[in-house]
Structure 1
Amino acid sequence: MQLSELKPGTYAKISDLSQIDRVIRRRLMDLGITVGEKICYKSSMPFGGPCMFESCGECIGIRRSEADCILVECE
């Protein structure tokens, strides 16, 4: 399942980051978004805007196109 397919308030575990761009993957890893990390989908902006997630006590926003490349497993 893709990260962008989650419903608001849903928790999931990141299973694959290999499909995302190398530079973006490095930035996410610096923020604590790594394989095996638990992440919560908070909200998304309308009209294909960015998605808000919480991980490691931090809220981050990423483009929907990048959230489509991150694979997760629902808990």
Structure 2
Amino acid sequence: MELTQMKPGEKGLITDISKINPLIQNRLLDLGIKEGERICYKYALPFGGPCMLEACGQCIGIRRKEAKCIRVEKC
């Protein structure tokens, strides 16, 4: 499933980030967003705003465009 399909408070495991632009993918890797990482989906801001998630003990905002390319598996 896509990251944007998760409901607030759900936890998941990132399974694929290969469809994201390589420059953005490197930035996400620097922030700890990588395949096999456990995340908690916090919420999505209204009017097409970013998606907030928690990974590696920090909250991160990701544009919906990139969030739709991240594949996750519910835990």
Q: Normalized against structure 1, the TM-score is what?
A: 0.98
CA shift at 1:47, angstroms?
A: 1.1
Q: 1:40 maps to which residue?
A: 40
* Residues in 1 aligned to 2:34 and 2:66: alpha-carbon distance in whole angstroms: 14
Structure 2 unmatched runs, 5+: none
Root-mean-square deviation over aligned CA pairs? 0.5
AA aligned to 1:31 is L
- CA-CA distance at 1:16 after TM superposition: 0.3
Amino acid corresponding to residue 68 of structure 1 in structure 2: K
**1:19 corresponding residue in structure 2:** 19
User: After the TM superposition, which parts of structure 1 deviate over 2 Å for at least 4 consecutive aligned residues?
Assistant: none
TM-score (norm. length: structure 2): 0.98
The structural deviation recorded for 1:51 is 0.5
Task: Give unmatched runs, 5+ long, in structure 1.
Answer: none
Count residues with an aligned counterpart. 75
- Tell me which residue corresponds to 1:67: 67
